[in-house]
Amino acid sequence: MKTIDQSWIMPLTYGGVFLGSGGGGHSLLLQLHLEELLKPGKTVTLLDLFEIRDQANYASICMMGSSELSDENPMTSTECTNIINRLSQLTNHKHSGLFALEAVSLNILYGVIGACVLGCPLVDGDAMGRAFPELQMTTFHINNIACNPCVFQDNRGNCYEIFQDDTFLLELGIRKVLFENGGIGFLAGYENPGSVIKKCLIPNTISFAAEIGREIVSAKSYQDMLAGLINVSKNSVYGKCIELFKGTVNEIERVQKLNWDNISLSGSGDYKNHTFSILVHNENLIAFKDNAIAAMVPDIITFVDLQRLKPVPNSEVKPGMELAVIGLPAPLALKTPRALDVVGPQCFGYKTRYRSLEQMNASYYFG
Amino acid sequence: MFVKNKKLFSDFLALIGNPVFEADTALFKETANPVIIMNKESAFCESCDKAAECSAEMEIYIPSFGRFIYRNSFSGDAGLLISLLCNIAGVMDEYRSISMQSDNYEFYRQLAKKVIDLNPHAISAIDADGAVIYQNIIAQNENWSDDRTKNAVTFPIFKGPKNLGRIVFMKSQPFSIQSALSAGNNREIAFHHILGTDPSITNCIDISMQVSAANSTTLILGESGTGKEIFAKAIHEASPRKNEAFVALNCAAIPENLLESELFGYVGGAFTDAKKGGKTGKIVAADRGTLFLDEIGDLPLSLQAKLLRVLQDKKVEPVGSVKSISVDVRYICATNQNIETLIKEKIFREDLYYRINVIPIHIPPLRTRKKDILILLHHNIKKYCVLNDKPFKNIDPLLVSLLVDYEWKGNVRELENVIEYAITVCNDDCITAGHLPAYLKTILSDKSEPGGMTEPVKKQQREHFQKLPCEDPVLAELIEKHGFGTQGKKQIALALDISLATLYRRIKKMKDHEGQK
């Protein structure tokens, strides 16, 4: 059992951006809000998956919509109390704890905010292990578990109780409401007993994000940071991270019709005379080094700004920036054939068989 | 940044070059943090009028202290320097209130020793009478001829007016900042294959990393399968000998009568059936590199005396030869036996034990670092899926909790074998107890609940739970798992920690509820 206090906010923020694989972002308002909630003396209990009780019920919360809009439409914390209470009324179950559906970007902080406001523990794990753009891209869906019932509240305070066994139809329904009502919403769902939660969640993702964040916050140089990140990630369910490239952003090209972006870089240092490009669809999905595949979703592809020594989401990447591209293998729960049917490259329209970072760099990973 | 002892700090910087000291300058006036500039790569240089004619290779600015400028004289490990500077600043700050005479001096002394040990160039500390007090490994192997020493730099050390001695520094190769920056990382990279966050294993890694820079004989102790050879390889990879041979010999795996010729080699005609040209022994093969002697406790007593002589004289005499061959070998020995017991039983020579036990490293058994088991399971599943070209598989979390509690008498090697077996036989997405080797299945089945323990969550069960959320989902799940028979009900009652009578009441209540629906 660990406790989250104010000192976790910055590490969780940067760790969350790192695991976001270019998606999401960070919100200063959310950080300040959490800082206010976690006043000195106030903490949130972080439960290891082994510590949760089989018979007790746990539910997840998450923010949905555009991270850019979250600062324009600040949350008040009343919505998480509201949606969780409504869910509790629907199922007639009390919740012994919360878990984050997606422990990256804004949602990692939102999970802590929810647990803090409701005064319950947060489970150290999540159902995505990284950022994904759609609600069905979770380990629950991979295990055929529906988000039924779920409660959704839009930014205007309208609350919806949804009973939908098909998570894809649920995603479509919620997106429709999001587009019509401010672009930001809050969801509570996936209530399940501890025995099911243990089977579905990817373990230790919140504490891992914090450890990654601590390495980023304390790094004095890029070499220092990379060594620290490798050291932390090798001792996780993810696996050692790997430097894929270092260079300058040349161009960010948008293929409007297909809703893909292409970020291209030209190499520097050891990568001089090499090129690198990344296909982006909300998150960084496929990376190519000299036109050969270097990394693929669900493995994580993240940018680190070499000037500021901080991970950057795609929304902050600009031509001329000096970046390092870091790859982090996805946990096993996202790499099985069944999981790849839900979160693999083909699910985004890239019709190629998944090749993992470990396969492409076997000697680096396994000696 | 606060530097308590400016004199010591200056001495420390002098160890890695010959900087020119200047008092605070206007250039850094508004800077509160220390600044390290290399090759004019800084915003300060851009704003400086004299940047064009500046010949500084490196500058270190310490607020409220001063500025050190290295002009073609910086000769240390830049990466190490930067981290040490930060350490000094932080630690000295903490030590502000403590008497400098005792603690800070010891801290500084150890830092200086570390700089000397890890420096890629030859450094010797010589006392006032000219006797060598301390040398790093490069200096020990350096040819201190007149030709070479004319380029050496000497830093005299004074305490007040008294001359304590001098530090002699000699470049062994052209200096490259880039190579120095990566030198520190190489040491870490060599240990990246060793996983674990338990303090017992991280301590081993830390000690091994320090040991790798030195040349001392190392004794690795630990149960079978803990990864002694992996540690030995990592020490070699992180050492200055990494480009030379790493030769491993298992003393228990070779018959006694062959071991002598394997270890020491032989000359042609040394014995019947000896090869005409003779054979190079492992010790000579490892010259300038590392020799790993596994299971040293099984080395026959007769060979122990011969090995002891090699260790002492650094010379080896092949079987049948009258000539000795000088060798420069770093020895790493390992055993899973208690050598002190072997000494009492007169199976192992005491003098050899003390010769090899210069730096002992105790690798902990896997059962004492249970929190590392999850990481090792995931790593090895990925490893054997890739090596066997199989699709990735997940592992049932309930099986993980059983494996965490297992004894692992064969340690990490046993865990690897279990996972390799499971990957080979498993054709599903998820490894469950059914995919384990038979011996382990038997042991774990005594501990686990029968049936369903590692079954994936069934669709029916989920639908049942989701459609009837007001019912008793835990009970429904357990019924699904254990069945509705008498034995099953007993197990359910046990799992819920309730009596059979209470269980029957709950089942009735659940059925009534279903009837109402």
Residues 6+ apart with CB under 8 A from B314: B326, B327, B328, B329
Mean pLDDT (whole number) for A288-296: 92
Domain extents in chain A:
2-203, 239-366
Q: Could you give the number of structural domains in chain B?
A: 5
Burial B105-138 (b: 16+ CB within 10 A, else e): eebbeebbeebbbbbbbbbbbbeeeeeeeebbbb
Q: Is B452 within a domain? A: no
Classify residue B180: in a domain, yes or no: no
Pick the CATH number of A239-366 from 3.60.21.10, 3.40.50.300, 2.40.390.10, 3.90.209.20: 2.40.390.10
Phi, psi of A245 (to 5 degrees): -170, 160
Per-residue pLDDT at B475: 78
Residues B264 and B333 in one domain: yes
pLDDT of residue A11: 94
Lowest-pLDDT choice from A3-12, A54-63, A239-248, B103-112: B103-112
| pLDDT digits 0-9 by tens, A307-325 | 889 999 998 899 999 999 9
Chain segment B207-232, per-residue pLDDT in tens? 898 888 888 899 999 998 999 999 99
- Give the pLDDT mean for A222-231: 92
* Residue in chain B lying closest to A232 (CA): B197
Cβ neighbours, 10 Å, residue A67:
21
Same domain, B99 and B128: no
Is the pLDDT at B87 greater than 90? The verdict is: no
Residues of chain B contacting A214 with CB distance shorter than 8 Å: none
| CATH number, domain containing residue B441 | 1.10.8.60
Task: Tell me: pLDDT of B6 over 80.
Answer: no
Q: For residue A156, how far is the Cα from the chain centroid?
A: 25
Higher pLDDT: B346 or B515? It is B346
CATH number for the domain spanning B343: value is 3.40.50.300
Res B10: pLDDT: 60
- Eight-class DSSP state of B458: P
Cα–Cα nearest to B473, from B488, B463, B485: B463
Answer yes or no: is pLDDT of A145 > 80.
yes
Segment holding A341, helix H or strand E: helix A337-343
The residue segments making up the domain with residue B165 are: 121-172
- Closest Cα of chain A to B380: distance in Å? 9
Compute the residue count for chain A. 367
Same domain for B482 and B371, yes or no, is no
- Concatenated DSSP letters of B144-157: --HHHHTT-EEEEE
Q: Is B395 an 8 Å CB contact of chain A?
A: yes
Residue of A nearest to B189 (CA): A227
Residues B68 and B127 placed together within one structural domain of the fold = no
By C-alpha distance, the chain B residue nearest A336 is: B392
| A333 → closest Cβ in B379, B394, B474 | B394
Residues 160-179 of B with CB under 8 A from A: none
Instruction: Calculate mean pLDDT across residues A44-63.
Output: 92
Could you tell me if residue B454 is inside a domain?
Answer: no
User: Which B residues 281-340 touch A at CB under 8 Å?
Assistant: none
Indicate if B77 and B134 belong to the same structural domain: no
pLDDT at A250 over 50: yes
List the single residue in A237, A240, A367 with the smallest CB-CB distance to B374. A237
Residue A76 has pLDDT above 50, yes or no: yes
Q: Cβ of A89: how many Cβ atoms within 10 Å?
A: 11
> Does residue B50 belong to any structural domain of this protein?
yes
Query: Among partner residues B196, B397, B462, which is closest to A235 by beta-carbon distance?
Result: B196
β-sheet bridge partners, residue A162: A150
**How many CB atoms are closer than 10 A to CB B39?**
10
Could you tell me if residue B387 is inside a domain? yes
- Please indicate whether the domains covering A2-203 and A239-366 agree at the CATH topology level: no
pLDDT at B472 over 70: no
Please give the structure tokens belonging to residue A306. Answer: 């070499």
pLDDT, residue A113, reads 93
Q: Are strands B325-326 and B315-316 parallel, antiparallel or unpaired?
A: antiparallel
Q: What is the pTM of this model?
A: 0.72
**For testing contact with chain B, the best of A195, A202, A241 (most B CBs within 10 A):** A195
Query: B375 with A237: CB under 8 angstroms?
Result: yes
- Interface touch B192/A234, C-beta < 8 Å: yes
Cβ contacts (< 8 Å) between B517 and chain A: which residues? none
Residue B247 domain-assigned?
Answer: yes
3-state helix, strand, coil in chain A (%, to 5): 40, 30, 35
Place of tokens 């009568």: B257
- Tens digit of each residue's pLDDT (9 = 90 or more) over A327-358: 999 999 999 999 999 999 999 888 888 999 99
Average confidence score pLDDT of chain A: 90
Averaged pLDDT for residues A73-88: 86
Last residue in a domain, options B388, B420, B447 = B447
Return the pLDDT at A297.
95
**Cα A359 versus chain centre, distance:** 24
In this predicted structure, the answer to whether residue B95 has a pLDDT above a threshold of 50 is no
Same domain, B259 and B339: yes
Same domain, B32 and B106: yes
CATH number of A2-203: 3.40.1610.10
Among chain B residues, the shortest Cα distance to A54 is held by: B474
Kindly state whether residues B251 and B386 are assigned to the same domain: no
CA distances, A290 to each of A280, A318, B388 (Å) = 17, 21, 28
Could you say which residues from 448 to 467 on chain B have a Cβ atom under 8 Å away from some Cβ of chain A?
456-457, 459, 462-463, 465-466
Q: Which of B181, B457, B466 sits opposite A199 (nearest CB)?
A: B457
B372 and A235 within 8 Å at the Cβ level: the answer is yes
pLDDT at residue A357 in the model: 94
Average pLDDT, chain B: 75
User: Between chains, do B381 and A49 touch, taking CB under 8 Å as contact?
Assistant: no
Chosen for mutation from A147, A220, A336 (greatest number of chain B CBs closer than 10 Å) is A336
Which pLDDT score is estimated for B466?
44
From B310's Cα to the closest Cα of chain A, the distance in A is: 32
Where are the alpha helices (H) located in B18-145, listed in sequence order? Answer: 43-46, 78-94, 105-118, 137-141
Q: What phi and psi, each to the nearest 5 degrees, are found at residue B23? A: -70, 175
pLDDT of residue B119: 59
What mean pLDDT do residues A137-161 have? Answer: 90
pLDDT digits (tens, 9 = 90+) for A171-183: 999 988 888 887 8
Answer with the one of B426, B447, B468 that is the final residue of a domain: B447
- Calculate the alpha carbon distances from A253 to A5, A21, A264, A277, B410 in Å: 41, 18, 8, 10, 55
Distance (Å) of CA A314 to CA A185, A326, B161: 22, 14, 63
Residue A199 touches chain B, beta carbons under 8 Å = yes
Mark whether B202 and B247 lie in a shared domain: yes
Whether A333 has its CB under 8 Å from any CB of chain B: the answer is yes
- Give dist(CA B132, CA A240) in Å, integer: 44
Nearest by CB to residue A332, choosing from B83, B395, B456, is: B395
Contact (CB<8Å) A235/B197:
yes
Tokens of B313: 């004289």
Interface touch A143/B429, C-beta < 8 Å: no
Flag whether pLDDT at B5 surpasses 50.
no
Residues B424 and B356 in one domain: no
Higher per-residue pLDDT: B67 or A209: A209
CA distance A48 to chain B (A): 12
Residue B64 or A137, more confident: A137
Residue of B346, B187, B319 lying closest to B262 (CA atoms): B319
Q: Give B461's contacts in chain A (Cβ within 8 Å).
A: none
The pLDDT of residue A267: 92
Provide the percentage of residues in chain A whose pLDDT is more than 90. 64
